[in-house]
Structure 1
Amino acid sequence: MESSDDLRPATIAVHSGRPPHDPDQPLNQPITMASTFVAGGGREYGRWGNPTWQAFEEALGRLEGGRALAFSSGLAAVDVVLDLVANGEKVVAPSACYNGTLLQLADLEARGRVSTTLVPVTDTAAWVEACEDAALVWLETPSNPMLDVSDVPAIVAAAHAAGARVVVDNTFATPLGQQPLALGADLVVHSATKYLAGHSDVLMGAVVVADEQIWTVLKGRRDLLGAVPGTLEAWLALRGLRTLPLRLERASANAAELARRLAEHPAVDRVRYPGSGAMVAIDLPDAATADAATRATRLWVHTTSLGGVESTLERRTRWASEAPEVPQGLVRLSVGIEDVEDLWADLAQALDSALAGNAG
């Protein structure tokens, strides 16, 4: 096929990672169920590679403008990147971001593996200052769950001037919303469980890099630790990736309309919406109001995780490990691809019900 430079993202998503267009070749990459391969090639053992993973990696790598590696989960991908940091070195990370990342950093710091400096997502000056003696700078933008946005180019420049690598968690934006490698980042992390797979049926992660040496190091760590995806999961993630542009287009349009309407609802103190993408967060007056609203929906599903075709919502601070700066009444909305009028009708009646209960 043509190089990714010649094709637009929607076309790359559909056409990358397929078998050659030769007679009698399958149109789709098959699921290769094999734990071992015949000797003499570069694969040999099932932990070292699989054609189904590699098809997913090719497609995601082309979308992100780098080379991808698939992992058993998003947290496995986070772990292998943090393992690049030597003992005692410093990691700079957002003070409020994906809970799993913060928990991994806290665990590493408690064991004396790394030191961690946490910085508010939008405080660029604080990021620049914190970069001075860092080994790794971890960005997540838009952030989970408050949807704050970082100045990636400015922070990348400061980090590189200090000799630090930069990783960007691109799960919320997806490669259709931003390509961090093109902005100067060294690594990109995804929870493929979310938008890439897109159907709430896959647990998988990925790392994308521009540098071949870093890719080789991470591949070696994956081979050694065994944090590899199942072949069915990889096949499902690739199948989901094919429709990412369509799903995200519809979900983003829904999110923009819902954000507009939510801003006018009397129960909502604040709407957090970065202006694009399919994630919205709202601040309700308190935890009780937020809990009442999440219990009152009929169409929206009260559950954790995000990025599926169905709309879900969650009060994030129901988890004791959530970052302290996340408001108690914050409800994170993962907007799906349903009809926006049905989504609004259900959300509005839930908010009305919660507001009435709070007033009573």
Structure 2
Amino acid sequence: MHAASDDSDLHPDTVAVVAGRPAHAPDAPMNVPVHLTSTYVAGGDIAYGRYGNPSWTAFEDVLGALEGGRCVSFASGMAAISAVLDLVEPGGLVVAPRHSYTGTVALLEERAQQGRLRVEFVDIADTAAVAAACEGAAMVWFETPTNPALEVADIAAIAAAAHAHGALVAVDNTFATPLLQRPLALGADLVVHSATKYLSGHSDVVMGAAIAASAEHEAALVQRRTLGGAIPAPLETYLALRGIRTLAVRLERAQANAQELVRRLDGHPALDEVRYPGFGAIVSIVVRGGAGPADALVERTRLWVHATSLGGVESTFERRRRWPAEQPTIPEGLVRLSVGIEQVDDLWRDLSAALDTIG
């Protein structure tokens, strides 16, 4: 276990590049190597491959510094989410957004059915309603922006309300990344990432992370990882760390592309709605006519890839209600766009041509 590096005098873009490096010395490597080992010689701090790995430490140093907390890496985003929810005492109430990642909703509902916790779903953009639901809660869990509705929560106000009732606050920061918002600085106790997405950024890693504001919660997360065995592989950790090095430039380009596409999509006759929170690179459009035209759209592009993940350098999109687990309050015609770093005119030409065929 370790605290975040002291990089408080550096901009986050710089921290993403310089943190988690080996000490500067003649002939020292610039990068922490991949440590492919399950076994360590006795007498040190690690002891065994399920307890630690220098590749994890480097990744955790960087993400911990970026989020301003103590990072624990996991095998996947769902493993990190599961470990954070394990902090809720048996039977505790979790307040969560009605619109969230389907895996998170499924996990909450499964645990509720098992009697391990209780869950109340709310409109996370309605701060007053969230505050009212905090009474008696053990944890307030939310994403902001939400997936795929792109609702934005007031982190500071919700954290204050939750803490007033003794509840923990956990925020999934996957969409925004620590370069656009830092929930711990706004009062959250825990932050979760699917490192599969923007952090790694190249659609070749499945990995997760949780960042705690306190040493107590960090220790609890480490224990859950150790006992549950949801450890990240060294190679995936190395690739995720390498991805973070270019996060700032990738996100800057993707966000600029997203904002330009939103401008061009506004008022398009094939669309009922364009949803964009004003930051980040995720856009949701609601195709007029529902599921049929939306399915036609995702089948008629050349550059845009029909795929379920997001946050990579390539642009992807999908109709979210194609998944039975998606919330029924999400429109049938909603297509979530993960805008990549391609040239924006090429993206627009491809997308608009497909829209014109269904408009």
Match of 1:79 among 82, 96, 100: 82
Deviations 1:54-92 (A, max 9, x none): 100000000000110100000000000011111111000
Say whether 1:68 aligns with 2:83.
no
Partner amino acid, structure 2, of 1:262: L
Match of 2:12 in 1: 9
Match of 2:106 among 96, 99, 103: 103
Partner amino acid, structure 1, of 2:15: I
Match of 1:322 in 2: 326
Match of 1:304 in 2: 308
RMSD of aligned C-alpha atoms? Answer: 1.0
Match of 2:335 among 331, 336, 340: 331
Give SS of 1:106's match.
helix
Match of 2:239 among 236, 239, 244: 236
**TM-score computed with the length of structure 1 as normaliser:** 0.97
Match of 1:342 in 2: 346
Match of 2:127 in 1: 124
Moved over 2 A (4+): none
Give SS of 2:342's match.
coil
**TM-score computed with the length of structure 2 as normaliser:** 0.98
Match of 1:358 in 2: none
- State the Cα distance separating 1:3 from its structure 2 match: 2.8
Structure 1 unaligned blocks of 5 or more: 356-360
Aligned residues: 355
Match of 1:254 among 249, 254, 257: 257
- State the Cα distance separating 1:264 from its structure 2 match: 2.7
Which protein is richer in helix relative to its size? 1
- State the Cα distance separating 1:324 from its structure 2 match: 1.5
- State the Cα distance separating 1:212 from its structure 2 match: 0.4
Give SS of 1:6's match.
coil
Match of 2:59 in 1: 56
| In structure 2, C-alpha distance between the alignment counterparts of 1:298 and 1:220, rounded to whole Å | 46
Which stretch of structure 1 is more off in the superposition, 66-75 or 260-269? 260-269
| In structure 2, C-alpha distance between the alignment counterparts of 1:28 and 1:151, rounded to whole Å | 38
- State the Cα distance separating 1:121 from its structure 2 match: 2.1
| In structure 2, C-alpha distance between the alignment counterparts of 1:97 and 1:218, rounded to whole Å | 22
Partner amino acid, structure 1, of 2:174: T
Deviations 1:138-165 (A, max 9, x none): 0100010011101111110110000000
Match of 2:32 among 29, 32, 35: 29
| In structure 2, C-alpha distance between the alignment counterparts of 1:252 and 1:348, rounded to whole Å | 19
Deviations 1:280-337 (A, max 9, x none): 0001121111001011111100010100000000000000000121110000000000
| In structure 1, C-alpha distance between the alignment counterparts of 2:47 and 2:40, rounded to whole Å | 5
Match of 1:143 in 2: 146
Structure 2 unaligned blocks of 5 or more: none
Say whether 1:187 aligns with 2:190.
yes
| In structure 2, C-alpha distance between the alignment counterparts of 1:27 and 1:122, rounded to whole Å | 44
Query: What is the percentage of aligned positions where both structures have the same residue?
Result: 60
| In structure 1, C-alpha distance between the alignment counterparts of 2:159 and 2:174, rounded to whole Å | 18
Deviations 1:99-143 (A, max 9, x none): 110000010011111110000121111100100110010010001
